[in-house]
Structure 1
Amino acid sequence: MTDLSDEDPAPLFALQRQERLMDELRAHGAVAVGRIAVVLGVSELTIRRDINALARRGLVTRVHGGATIRSSIDESRGALTGRDATVTKYTIGMVVPSLDYYWPEVVSGARVQAAQLQSRLMLRGSLYDARDNRKQVQVLVNTSGMHGLIVAPHTAGPEGLEMLRWLDSLPIPVVLAERRVRSAAAATRLESVVTDHAAGAMQAVRHLYAAGHRRIGLLTEPQSPTTPHVRRGWKRAIASLGLTPDVVNTDAVSFDSFDRETVIDEILAQCTSTGTTALLILSDPQAVAFEQHCADRGVRIPDDIAIVAYDDEVARLGHPAITAVRPPKQFVGRGAVDLLVARLEGGRNRPPHHIKLTPELLVRESSM
């Protein structure tokens, strides 16, 4: 008699889960075990078994922490046939400023799309620093057979302006990921794919307004490239809804700051003095830190103050789970590859494209 103790007790349900997994993969290019387990309401072990089953059938490629659409360079089941068996057409370099927050999903989307387009992706991590950005880009430019680059460089200030001009002068095409081409750079060849963070901030404010809040504040990170765009969207939404800007509005909070508790106490005092009843917080770690501190001080979320996080990396793990704006990170990476390959195949006569993608608002208990 076959021992079924280590198998799914309901094959029909397993098939339905695997179909859902494939739907997610087709839509996003990759899935993370933890996230899809929460979505489907099953254990992470069950999802891993489903991924293994799909991988054995040659439908997906297993990666650390999840799976991606079957890659044309995945040799785990031997060579592919037909269109997927063609040789690599392009080698694409990619430089991102972080390998542990926000950017892994962007990279995953780029990697999957590159494989779909018979291209090879070479990744280098950098710092939020123009000099290091330039060093990593130069290594890729000097790599034999490099066709084009996807870069998320430092673009602020004079150093950032010079970086944009230098990238525009390179002999191979460059697409910026989550970075905009500053008009002062007078760049004529750079292309870009960005999240419309201002639109995401406006979604958050309007959601809080619909929930009954009329004094909606903002907490941001001082060094984040996303901050100016989120702040712009927050201001626009406040003005369009006829709300007062005389609320909490600061970039002083940081999850790893040694004086975090003191800073958050000051913010809570400002909430009381200004009548602020809701906050948009960039980013997730700051939102989680704020929520934890509120619990320690007996401040109830969302009863006393509602919060919405921006980024949705770990917001769902808060207690209560935190409503969040989720940028379409996978699609930023995929779109950057699409733009680069289109430029390579269309040549210099193809006009530069600049694409904005709209983020998604995921409503959870922290703002309900």
Structure 2
Amino acid sequence: MRESAAERHDRLLALVRERGTARVSELADRLGVSPVTARRDVEALAAKGLLDRVHGQVSWPERQGAAAGGRTGEGLVLGLLAPSATYYFAEVIRGAHEAAARAGARLVLRISDYRPEDDRARTEGLLTAGAEGVLVAPGWRGPEDRLAYGDWLAELPVPAVLLERSADPGSSLDSLDRVVSDHGHGVLLALRHLLGLGHGTPLLVARGDSPTALAVRAGYAEALVALDVAAPGPVIDSVPADQDPEGFERAVRALHEAVTSGRATAALVHNDVDAIQIVQRLAELGVRVPQDLALIAYDDEVAALADTPLTAVAPPKRQVGRHATELLVERLTEAPDEEAARRHLSLLPRLRVRASCGAPRPGRAF
């Protein structure tokens, strides 16, 4: 897989941090890139204050603010609690790791396996391991978990940033910093795209076993109101095919009936894995994507790998990890007399258009 610019920047920063000072030509050799690419990378990082550049050489910067009694990110230990290290959260973790490396901080990871009852003990383990601040994505599956296993977060003795999790307005958790994807905006993008292709209101096929799934469902209801359209039927409850084959088949049959009866010609499916398996099963039943059904997946982890590459809503997972880590480092390095306002940061998903939506429908407005 081709290395991204962000990954190359991280390697470059690590080299300079290790050596203290290095020539641009030397960095190009060590990174395996052209001198022009290395010079461009150095200029970009220097512009952000991550490197000092003088006469063809770069050096690790003397951090501004240290002399005034403030801390730098160098040497910090950050903790990250995630419900999983695969699928959706793999990219969140990756973004957090990149941002920590850029700040010269060490990131320590704990995985909850979606067991919210263990979140507190695992976070305390991060503190024992030396974490001076934590990024926390609790293993909640629904609102009941948040109520039962959430209050301890507001009592942590170190700064904390919530990842991809929200809180009830006015609750103790609502005063924490948080960085989330705006899933409502992602759903709106999907529905607007399908309506623009001339389809009637798309159906939603979604799970109900995670905060993302619940946010997609809530976003669907909000999007229907915003677009002034009525749903062609109730939300179809989806379940993992490997865990509940009968429930999965019921979802496929419900979508199949909606298509063959003419009630729906488009659907939004959460998540990618379910969408791919649903498309495969529909084909066995004689419903083709995109000829008979235009389909958009939600998450964009593996959507592009389907036989018919699936158009997908892509939450900014990696950027969530990066921004949350940068915010945590800022909290840990701000001067003691500063009283910076807490932040609730929402990042907007993108729609990646592929083959599964087909062309605009004839005779319909685009």
TM-score by length of 1: 0.76
C-alpha distance in structure 2 between counterparts of 1:162 and 1:215, whole Å:
37
Are 1:284 and 1:315, in contact at CA under 8 Å, matched by a contact in 2? Answer: yes
2:270 to 276, 282, 288: 282
Task: Tell me the distance in 2 between the aligned counterparts of 1:58 and 1:174.
Answer: 41
Maintained 8 Å contact 1:181/1:192: no
Range with bigger deviation, 312-321 or 146-155: 146-155
Equivalenced residue count is 310
In structure 1, distance between residues paired with 2:333 and 2:297: 40
Is the alpha carbon distance of 1:130 and 1:248 closer, same or farther for their aligned partners in structure 2, counting shifts above 3 Å?
A: same
Q: Any idea what SS the aligned residue of 2:86 has?
A: coil
The answer (yes or no) to whether the contact 1:247–1:271 under 8 Å persists in 2 is no
8 Å Cα contact 1:248/1:276 also seen in 2: no
1:152 has 2:137 as partner = yes
2:285 corresponds to = 297
Which of 334, 341, 352 is 1:351 aligned to? 341
Distance across 2 between alignment mates of 1:187 and 1:202 = 27
Deviation at residue 317 of structure 1 after TM alignment: 0.8
Paired residues of 1:310 and 1:324 also in contact (CA < 8 A): yes
Q: CA deviation at 1:159?
A: 4.0
Aligned pairs (5 A) from 1:136-151: 136-144=122-130, 146-151=131-136
Q: 1:301 to 1:109 in 2, by over 3 A?
A: same
User: Counterparts of 1:77-156 in structure 2 under 5 Å?
Assistant: 81-83=59-61, 88-144=74-130, 146-155=131-140, 156=142
Is the alpha carbon distance of 1:286 and 1:355 closer, same or farther for their aligned partners in structure 2, counting shifts above 3 Å? same
Superposition TM-score, scaled by structure 2 size: 0.76
SS in structure 2 at match of 1:226? helix
- The aligned amino acid for 1:258 is P
Displacement after TM superposition at 1:323 (Å)? 0.3
C-alpha distance in structure 1 between counterparts of 2:121 and 2:146, whole Å: 14
List aligned pairs for 1:2-151, cutoff 5 A: 23=5, 25=7, 55-56=31-32, 81-83=59-61, 88-144=74-130, 146-151=131-136
Q: CA deviation at 1:236?
A: 2.4
- Cα offset, 1:87, TM superposition: 8.7
Q: State the superposition RMSD in angstroms.
A: 3.1
SS in 1 for 2:211: coil
- C-alpha displacement at 1:243, in angstroms? 1.9
Q: Which has the higher contact order (CA 8 A, sep 6+)?
A: 2
Q: Who is 1:14 aligned against?
A: none
Match of 2:329 in 1: 341
CA 1:209–1:26 in structure 2 vs 1: closer, same or farther (change >3 Å)?
farther
Check conservation: 2:265, 2:292, Cα contact below 8 A: yes
The DSSP-based 3-state class of the residue aligned with 1:204 is helix
More deviation in 276-285 or 266-275?
A: 266-275
Change in Cα spacing, 1:341 to 1:207, as seen in structure 2 (3 Å) is same
Counterparts of 1:188 and 1:261, CA distance in 2: 39
What SS does the aligned partner of 2:173 have?
coil
Aligned to 1:65: none
Name the CA distance, whole Å, in 1 between partners of 2:8 and 2:175: 31
Q: What is aligned with 1:306? A: 294
Report deviation, 1:90: 0.9
Consecutive unaligned residues of structure 1, counting only runs of 5 or more, are: 1-16, 31-51, 61-68, 73-79
Deviation, 1:235, is 1.9
The answer as to whether partners of 1:93 and 1:140 remain within 8 angstroms in 2 is yes
Counterpart residue identity of residue 122, structure 2:
Q
1:57, 1:91 → 2: CA distance?
31
**C-alpha contact (below 8 Å) 2:167/2:174 kept by paired residues:** no
Distance 2:85 2:330 in 1: 26
Letter in 1 for 2:245: F
Superposed counterparts of 1:233-248, under 5 Å: 233-248=219-234
Are residues 265 and 183 of structure 1, via their aligned partners in 2, closer, same or farther at CA, if it must alter by over 3 Å?
A: same
Deviation string for 1:296-340 (max 9, x for gaps)?
122111111111000001100112110000011110000110110
**1:268 equivalent in alignment to 2:261:** no
Which deviations, in whole Å up to 9, do the C-alpha atoms of 1:60-108 show, x marking residues without a partner? 9xxxxxxxx9xx9xxxxxxx95239999431000011011211111111
The CA distance in 1 between the partners of 2:87 and 2:321, in whole Å, is 14
Aligned to 1:8: none
Distance verdict in 2 for CA 1:173–1:125, change over 3 Å: same
Distance 2:221 2:8 in 1: 36
What stretches of structure 2 of length at least 5 have no aligned partner? 12-27, 38-44, 51-57, 64-71, 359-366
Measure, in 2, the Cα distance between the counterparts of 1:264 and 1:121.
42
Paired amino acid for 1:341: V
**Pair 53,281 (structure 1): closer, same or farther in 2 beyond 3 Å:** farther
Deviation, 1:268, is 1.1
The 1:264/1:366 distance shift into structure 2, 3 A limit, reads same
Indicate whether 1:183 and 2:169 are aligned: yes
